[in-house]
Each structure stands twice: as C-alpha cells, then as structure tokens.
Amino acid sequence: MNITFLNHASYILESENTKILFDPYLYGTAFNNSWKLFNEEKHDLTDINYIFFSHEHPDHFSVDFIKNHFNEKRDEITILYQETYDKRIKNFCSKLGYNFLELPNYKEVLLENDLKITLGKVPFYDSWVMVSNSDHNILNVNDCVLEDPSLVHTIKKISGDSKIDVLLTQFSYAGFAEYEQRSINAKSQLETIKLQDTILKPKNIIPFASFIYFAHKESFYMNDFINTPEITENFLKNNISGNTVWLKPNEKWKVNEKKENHTSIDYWMEFYNNINSLPKVDSGESVEISELENKYQKYISRIKSKNNRFLLNIYNIVLGKYVTMHLYDIDTFIKINLLKGIITLQNKPENFIKLHSETLAFVFDFDFGIDTFSVSARFESDAELFNRFCQSFAIGELNNTGKYLKFSNFYKFFQQGVLKRLINFITIGPGNKK
C-alpha cells in the first residue's frame, strides 16, 4: 500500500489498482469562515475509485468539493459513509450521481479483491476506519474524541489480532476553550496519541487532521497553544513506541518504508512560525435584531416540529438557562433562551458572550449551527456561559444527527456510548476535558 498525503485530514490510499480518497477538504474556509488550511496545493485526483467521509464536519465533508469534482465519472466512484438514521448524506451524494455504500458499524466489508474496510462509530457523529489487505492494516481515527480509554479498547477489540501498520490521528485541539484550558487541551491531545499507541501498538503513527489555523479575526486568538509539528514530534519521540511519519502535501509514502521527517516538518513549520502573517478573514454583514428574531422563530419551529413538546419542555427546564450576549457589531445586549427566544436588554449585563450578529444568525440558520459555533470560536466568553449556551441549543445538533426527543427515539441514545457522552456533555460541558 501507498499513502499520498494531500492536506489536513485528506490522503489517498492506494492498493494495487484501487484508490481511496479520504476526507477531501482541500481549499476554502470551514466552520463559518473560522478555519483555513495553512496552504492550498494542487493535487492529482485521477483514477479515484472510492471516497471515504469520516463525518459531516466541513473540514472532512466539503460540500463544495463533492459538488464540483468528478463531473464526468461520478458513476465510477463510490462514496463510503457510516450508516445513519436520516440518510441525508446518502441522498445528497446519490442525487449528485455518485454510487454510495453505507458501512455498518463494526462489520468488515469486502471492497474488492482482498481489500477490506471496517468502520466504527464514535458518539455523536464521528467514525474511525480500518482498511486492510493481505499485507497491511491502516487505521484512521481522524479527530474522533478518544480521551476515554474504553473507546480505544473497543477499536482494539474490533481489530482483533490484526497488526496495525499505520495509525493516522489528530495532534492538536479543534474548538473553543478559555486561555488556560487551551494549554490543557493541547497537552491532552498529545496524551491521547500516547494512549492510542499504548493500547493499539501501531508500527507507524501519522499525525494529521490538524493542519489548519483559526483564520478569522474573531478566532485568531485560538492559535496561541496549538500543537506544532515540532512540539508534537518532540513529545512523541519520547513517549511512543511506534515510528512517526510526517508528510507534506502530495508526498507519497510506501507503508512501512523508513521515513526521514525533517523535510516534511520543516515544510509545515514555515507556516507555523509565520502564523501571524497568514491571511485573516473579516466578518460578514451585520444582522439586525428584527431579522435575528425571525431566524430564531424559524429555528424553534423546526425544533418543535421534530421533538415531543413535553420532553422539549423538560429539556429546557434542565438545560435551557438564559444566556446574556453582546452583539458588538450592532451594539445590542440581549438574553436568549431556547424556548423563550430573544429579549433585548436596556442595560449592560455583568457577564456576557461577545459575538458578531452574523455568528448568532448562523446558529439559527442551521440545526448544526451550535456545533459550528463551538468549533469556530468566533466569540469571547468564559467557560460557564459558553457551556450554558451550547447545552441549551445542543438539541439542534442532536436533531442534525437523526436523534430526537421522542419516546420512540429513546433507543438511539443507548447505542455506541451515546448516553455516556451526553452525560459528560451535560455535566462538564463541551469546553473542558475530563
């Protein structure tokens, strides 16, 4: 097998005459214009047979990419994706003309010849994947949240006695945290790689899925503690038993071949060392308070149409606390509650989330808006208010993954550790590590 790295979390895995393209986010911004790639390169995407998407985040599933590539040969390409309740990704890709194969959870699927693929779901929407042939096993955990050792042990159990030749894994944080917590999260991400190495014992580790920077002027502060390749390499060479393999864009590596990393690390460090001079993104147009109220009404109408009213009221009683905000671009203070909506304040509150009105509009425009809000970090807040807002509006993100507050839906919360992850989300919030 050969691995040709493209960018961020994307690469091409080549086995005999088969090419699988993974998570192609190769240009543009992500998460409401908050993220950018360090550099955009041209890539050879000829003769692709399969495209695997680990999850729906825009730095893995790029809607623009899938809509604007392979126009003449989509019937020759099969999309590989996890089984879902709502089939949105399947329907979307199929309408574009792609073939589509849903991968069942924890079950090995034969693609062709001796090439096999096994997918494992990780709550709430992530997935890891192992691709194997008679010679090699390649495990991609991308940015699955794997701080819980039980999740890594599950991967080990599913992989059985298979020797893992390559582990591809995230090496830096990817979402909002307060100043001190960012440093903790950065170190925690390295400890997670150490945990994966201890349990899975891969022969080689490729650190990836972190080759982005927080590019928006409102989120640029988040770059202060990100793990660089140098920081990561210094940690890994002293804490793991496997070899590290660093790859730059379009670099091809034959699996298990000895690799010299200096050139690749130097390529990336040129961007990290000059991060303050990289392009920054400006905010969009302001959204007036009346339009925000209209967007909220459309949002809450969607939520009410999909969820049991009684359970939704219980949810709001438990998690729907008011959150105060300063929409700085229109100089307006508000407080907001999931079911009670927006209330304009006449006086400045003691504590508040500072954000652009465009960011709040995004939360209302999309069911996944609160998830994007959390990852984008386009705001200023303390952990308590941030957690309160995310917990209150997390119902939209749950609905986006095909889970609803209905008595008939309860079984979905008892699968693949979803309930445990929900309890952690409710008790400690999304802005902190355990």
Same domain, 202 and 341: no
Question: Whole-angstrom Cα distance, residue 33 to residue 249?
Answer: 22
Residue 282 maps to a domain: no
Distances (CA, A) of 298 to 234, 266, 339: 50, 49, 12
Residue ending a domain, choose from 246, 277, 308: 277
Same domain, 138 and 257: yes
Other CB atoms within 10 Å distance of the CB of residue 205: 26
Tokens standing for 93?
Answer: 């890709």
Angle ∠(261,264,270) on CA atoms, nearest 5: 130
- Can you give the pLDDT at residue 288? 98
Same domain, 253 and 341: no
Angle ∠(352,354,355) on CA atoms, nearest 5: 140
Residue 412 maps to a domain: yes
Question: Whole-angstrom Cα distance, residue 261 to residue 237?
Answer: 12
Residue ending a domain, choose from 226, 254, 277: 277
Question: Whole-angstrom Cα distance, residue 21 to residue 13?
Answer: 7
> Residue 400: which residues within 8 A CB-CB, separation 6 or more?
56, 366, 367, 368, 371
- Can you give the pLDDT at residue 418? 59
Same domain, 40 and 174: yes
Question: Whole-angstrom Cα distance, residue 416 to residue 413?
Answer: 8
Read off the pLDDT of residues 33-78 as tens digits, 9 standing for 90 and up.
Answer: 999 999 999 999 999 999 999 999 999 999 999 999 999 899 999 9
Residue 284 maps to a domain: no
What CATH number should be reported for the domain holding residue 121?
3.60.15.10
- Can you give the pLDDT at residue 402? 86
- Can you give the pLDDT at residue 427? 56
Could you give the number of structural domains in the chain? 2
Range of the domain at 79: 2-277
Query: In terms of C-beta density within 10 A (0-12 exposed, 13-18 middle, 19 or more buried), how is residue 164 classed?
Result: buried
- Can you give the pLDDT at residue 432? 47
- Can you give the pLDDT at residue 409? 81
Residue ending a domain, choose from 254, 277, 300: 277
Query: What torsion do the CA atoms of 167, 173, 175, 180 make, to the nearest 10 degrees?
Result: 160
Same domain, 262 and 334: no
Same domain, 313 and 412: yes
Long-range contacts formed by 249-253: CB under 8 A, 24+ apart: 249/5, 249/6, 249/7, 249/39, 249/41, 249/43, 250/4, 250/5, 250/6, 250/41, 250/43, 250/44, 251/4, 251/5, 252/2, 252/3, 252/4, 252/5, 253/2, 253/3, 253/4, 253/5
Instruction: Please say whether the beta carbons of 245 and 205 come within 8 A.
Output: yes
Same domain, 270 and 294: no
Question: Whole-angstrom Cα distance, residue 232 to residue 280?
Answer: 25
Same domain, 396 and 330: yes
Which segments within 192-272 are labelled E, that is strand? Answer: 204-208, 212-214, 243-244, 252-254
- Can you give the pLDDT at residue 17? 87
Among candidates 176, 239, 224, which has minimal Cα distance to 378? 176
Same domain, 266 and 150: yes
- Can you give the pLDDT at residue 123? 78
Strand 2-7 relative to strand 10-15, pairing: antiparallel
**What SS3 state is found at 69?**
coil
Give me the DSSP letters along 268-289: HHHHHTTGGGS--BPP-----H
Same domain, 170 and 125: yes
**What SS3 state is found at 324?**
strand
What CATH number should be reported for the domain holding residue 339?
3.30.1050
Residue 7 maps to a domain: yes
Per-residue pLDDT of the chain (434 residues; tens, 9 = 90+): 999 999 999 999 999 889 999 999 999 999 999 999 999 999 999 999 999 999 999 999 999 999 999 998 999 999 999 999 889 999 999 999 999 999 999 999 999 889 999 999 987 789 999 999 999 999 999 998 887 888 899 999 998 888 999 999 999 999 999 999 999 999 999 999 999 999 999 999 999 999 999 999 999 999 999 999 999 999 999 999 999 999 999 999 999 999 999 999 999 999 999 999 999 999 999 999 999 999 999 999 999 999 999 999 999 999 889 999 999 999 999 999 999 999 999 999 999 999 999 999 999 999 999 999 999 999 999 999 999 999 999 999 989 888 899 988 877 766 656 555 555 555 556 654 43
Strand 353-355 relative to strand 108-112, pairing: unpaired
Same domain, 120 and 240: yes
